[in-house]
Amino acid sequence: MATGAQVRTLTRNPDAAGLPQQVDVMRGDLTLPDTLDACLDGIDTVFLVWVAPPATIAAVLERIAKHARRIVFLSAPLKTAHPLFQQPNPFREVTAQMERLIESSGLQWTFLRPGMFAANALRWWAPQIRAGNVVRWPYVSVPTAPIDERDIAAVAVRALCEEGHARAEYVLTGPQSLSQAEQVLTIGQVIGRSLRIEEISPEEARRELLAIMPASVINMLLDAWAAGIGQPAFVTSTVAEITRAPARTFLDWTTDHAAAFRG
Ligand SMILES: NC(=O)c1ccc[n+]([C@@H]2O[C@H](COP(=O)([O-])OP(=O)(O)OC[C@H]3O[C@@H](n4cnc5c(N)ncnc54)[C@H](OP(=O)(O)O)[C@@H]3O)[C@@H](O)[C@H]2O)c1
C-alpha cells in the first residue's frame, strides 16, 4: 500500500483475515471458481498462493487470465539443485502443474520460490515451547535458511508493482544457514529460557507431528530433511538484491514474534 496500489484480497473467512482497513477483503474459495469473479472484477495483477486441492487449478487460472494482466505465483524451489528441494512429493507435482498452466495462460508471470518459512516455527515449535522447556523434533542437525515472510512479501510487492520482473524465477531464502537446533536455541535466547532439544526418530515424528500437520506434509518434510543431512542450507542474496535492503535474520524474526513463544 506504500506504493499507492489498491489492494483486494480473497479469503474464505473475511472476519478472521486481520488485514489493515485499507485492504478490500472479499469472501471466496479457490475450490469454488464461481466465487472468484467478484473479487477479480477490475483487477490488474494477482498474487496467487495455492494451498487448495488441485481439482480447480485450471478453472481458477482461466478466470484469472480473463481479468488480470499479470500474475505473481508463490511457488517453491523446484529447480534448485540442493537435495532438500529435490525430493519427490505430491505438492511438488501440483506446483509444477500450476507453473505449466500459468506459463501457457497468456498472463505475464513471475514465480517466487521461497525455501522454508521462518513462520513454520509458530506451528512446529511454539506449542511445545509455550508448554515447557523441551522441544522434541527430528533431524535437528539439518540446516535450513528460514526466510521471514515479510521479505517474501517485499519481493512480491516489487514483482507486482514494478516493471522488469516478467518471466523471472526468484529463489528466496533467509540470509543464514542454521540447523533446526540452532533455530530452536535462538528462540530460547530471545525469550530468555534454556530450551532443551530432544531428537526423535523419523518414526516417532510420523506419529507425534500428526497433532500439528497432515501426514502428507510430515512425509514431505521428513524426506527433505533426510536429504539435507550434512549439507549447508542453500542461501541466496535475491531478497537483498530485489528489495535493496538486507534480508531479515531468524533472530530478527524471532525477536518480532517472541510473544507467540512466551504464551
Ligand atoms: N511453509 C513453508 O515453509 C513453505 C515453503 C515454500 C513454499 N510454501 C508455499 O507457500 C504457500 C503457503 O504455505 P503455508 O504453509 O503458509 O500454508 P497455510 O498456512 O496452510 O495456508 C495459507 C492460506 O491459504 C488460504 N487457503 C487455504 N485454502 C484456501 C481456499 N480453498 N481458498 C482460498 N484460500 C485458501 C488460507 O486462508 P483462509 O483460511 O483465510 O482462506 C491460509 O491462510 C503454499 O503454496 C506452500 O506450498 C510454503
Q: What is the CATH number of the domain that holds 82?
A: 3.40.50.720
The answer to which of 1-5, 89-93, 253-257 has the lowest mean pLDDT is 1-5
DSSP assignment, residue 3?
A: T
Residue 27: CB partners within 8 Å, gap ≥ 6? Answer: 10, 11, 12, 13, 14, 35
Cell of residue 38, nine digits: 467478484
CA 40 to ligand 1 centroid distance, Å: 19
Residue 112 φ then ψ, to 5°: -95, 130
CA 193 to ligand 1 centroid distance, Å: 31
CA 57 to ligand 1 centroid distance, Å: 15
Give a yes or no: residue 23 inside a domain: no
CB of 30 closer than 6 angstroms to any ligand 1 atom: yes
User: To test the ligand 1 pocket, which listed residue (32, 49, 56, 57) has its Cβ within 8 A of the most ligand atoms?
Assistant: 49
Give a yes or no: residue 211 inside a domain: yes
CA 74 to ligand 1 centroid distance, Å: 10
Give a yes or no: residue 163 inside a domain: yes
Place of cell 508448554: 131
CA–CA dist 263, 248 (Å, integer): 24
Which residue's CA is the nearest one to ligand 1's atom 46? 51
Sign for the CA dihedral angle at 221, 222, 227, 228 comes to: positive
Give a yes or no: residue 244 inside a domain: yes
- Among 110, 107, 98, smallest CA distance to 43 is for 107
Provide the number of structural domains found in the chain.
1
138 is in which domain, residue-wise? 69-262
What is the overall mean pLDDT for the chain?
96
Q: Is the distance from CB of 242 to CB of 170 less than 8 angstroms?
A: yes
CA 241 to ligand 1 centroid distance, Å: 26
- Among 253, 263, 234, 56, smallest CA distance to 153 is for 253
What is the pLDDT, as a whole number, of residue 13?
96
Residues 95-119 pLDDT 10s: 999 999 999 999 999 999 999 999 9
What is the pLDDT, as a whole number, of residue 29?
97
Cell of residue 114, nine digits: 521461497
Residue 55: CB partners within 8 Å, gap ≥ 6? Answer: 31
Which residue's CA is the nearest one to ligand 1's atom 21? 51
Average confidence (pLDDT) over 228-238: 97
CB of 25 closer than 6 angstroms to any ligand 1 atom: no
